[in-house]
Amino acid sequence: MEGKFLEFLENIGSPNLYIYDFIPNDKLENARECYSIPRSEKILGLVDTTFWGSAKTGVAFGLKGVYWMNLGKYTEHNFISWGDLYNNMSTIDLSDSTIWFEPNCAIDINMSKIKPDVFVELIKDLANCYYFNKCSTSVDLYSPVNEKVSLVEEGNKDIMPIGISDNSLNIVDEFGVYDLSNKSEDVRCHYSALLFMIILDDGYIDERQQSKLSYWLEHLNLNGRQAELCELAYRLSSQDSLEEVINFLIMQDPRLGKSLLLDVSLFTSMVESSSSKVSSRLEMLAKVFLINDVELKDILYLTAFILEHSTDGLCKPQPDIDLSSYHLWLPEHQQILFRKSLWK
């Protein structure tokens, strides 16, 4: 998380923003004393809003949250945790150079030399980053046969994740009208957001899931935008747009239904002990994706087969199963799928 925090801070590029090792000791000491920052807190960024450069007023970004001291504008609180920020992100209000989180809880960023809207986006990015890190687990689930998903081999770099269509259409929803041409930014964001909705519903992303997700984001040209996609996923959910987006995408490419459900099944089943919650979610999505019971059973078997989980009690697909529905998939998994002789 620290590394990602520092990336966001470094992208701001303000002369009044000092980052981690480059925070002058006298400024840091003044900030700790004036903003009531605990000694145990690690400060990754410090914005000095003073005229003479003492940093006795300003904003400090720590691992636990945001600390500040305003000049001439008293508020009851001068700290807000990243968790509270994330949970109340929609209530953040900007008035001139003052960022309000709630009554009697505001940051005055006058003299910060950072544009107010940029400052707000920075805070949101850091809160999203914190939340995503909190939802992640460091449990090592790898084994010799279950390694990290490797980067695509040379010569296969044009292979894209499923759901990217060659045609285009207009999607009209709360976000406006989008022209979703092949490999367009919007369809990529929506596709990734759909996966996020499924993953985050379980409360964490394990290392194998993160490895595969990182692969996708890289080949969708969305590196560094994971937190943004997370926020998009929640917006889609809260605005009841998720099913609408899915339906439009499936209309665009009917193969997307089975391909997307297989991806969702893999993400939610990478941990051996899949729950009844996962099963019920997959059944619900199968209806949304217009997938019948036989196709759903095929997907559940393929999921267990690819992840090398037990297939006991699962119905084997027919030997003549059409795997073309999954042809826009990761090459290493394609190789496993097309070794049908192993499970005929």
Q: What is the DSSP string of 227-251?
A: HHHHHHHHHHHHTT-HHHHHHHHHH
The identity of residue 134, as a single letter, is: K
Output the pLDDT for position 47: 95
Q: Which of 295, 144, 338, 18 is nearest to 29 (CA)?
A: 18
How confident is residue 252, by pLDDT bands cut at 50, 70 and 90?
Answer: low
Output the pLDDT for position 234: 64
Structure tokens at 330: 């990761």
Output the pLDDT for position 276: 64
Cβ-Cβ contacts under 8 Å for 250 (sequence gap 6 or more)? 256, 257, 289, 290
Other residues' Cβ atoms within 10 Å of the Cβ of residue 199: 22
Q: Which of 336, 334, 302, 298 is nearest to 318 (CA)?
A: 298
What is the distance of C-alpha 242 from the center of its chain?
Answer: 16
Checking if the pLDDT of 25 tops 90, the result is yes
- Phi then psi for residue 59, to 5 deg, are -135, 135
Distance, in Å, from the CA atom of 136 to the CA atom of 207, rounded to the nearest integer, reads 8
Output the pLDDT for position 207: 72
Q: Is 246 left (phi over 0), alpha (psi -120 to 50) or beta?
A: alpha
**Average pLDDT of span 205-222:** 68
Q: What is the pLDDT of residues 62-116, one digit of tens each?
A: 998 999 998 776 677 889 988 888 878 878 888 888 898 887 788 988 888 888 8
Cβ-Cβ contacts under 8 Å for 38 (sequence gap 6 or more)? none
How confident is residue 163, by pLDDT bands cut at 50, 70 and 90?
Answer: very low
E strands, the chain, are 17-19, 43-48, 58-62, 65-69, 79-81, 93-95, 98-102, 105-108, 170-173, 176-179
Output the pLDDT for position 19: 94
Most confident of 31-35, 324-328, 336-340: 31-35
Cβ-Cβ contacts under 8 Å for 72 (sequence gap 6 or more)? 108
- Quote the mean pLDDT of the chain: 70
Other residues' Cβ atoms within 10 Å of the Cβ of residue 37: 22
∠ CA 246-227-331, nearest 5°, is 60
Output the pLDDT for position 160: 30
Output the pLDDT for position 240: 58
Q: What is the pLDDT of residues 90-102, one digit of tens each?
A: 788 888 888 988 8
DSSP helix/strand/coil, 104: coil
3-state helix, strand, coil in the chain (%, to 5): 45, 15, 40
How confident is residue 26, by pLDDT bands cut at 50, 70 and 90?
Answer: very high
Distance, in Å, from the CA atom of 183 to the CA atom of 221, rounded to the nearest integer, reads 10
**Average pLDDT of span 113-125:** 89
Checking if the pLDDT of 302 tops 80, the result is yes
Give the percent of the chain with pLDDT over 90: 14
Q: Which of 156, 327, 196 is nearest to 253 (CA)?
A: 327
Output the pLDDT for position 57: 92
Checking if the pLDDT of 294 tops 80, the result is yes
Structure tokens at 70: 């305003």
Edge-to-edge strand ranges of the sheet holding 93-95: 93-95, 98-102, 105-108
Output the pLDDT for position 303: 82
Q: What is the pLDDT of residues 179-211, one digit of tens each?
A: 333 444 555 556 666 666 665 555 556 676 677
Q: Which residues pair with 66 in a beta bridge?
A: 61, 80
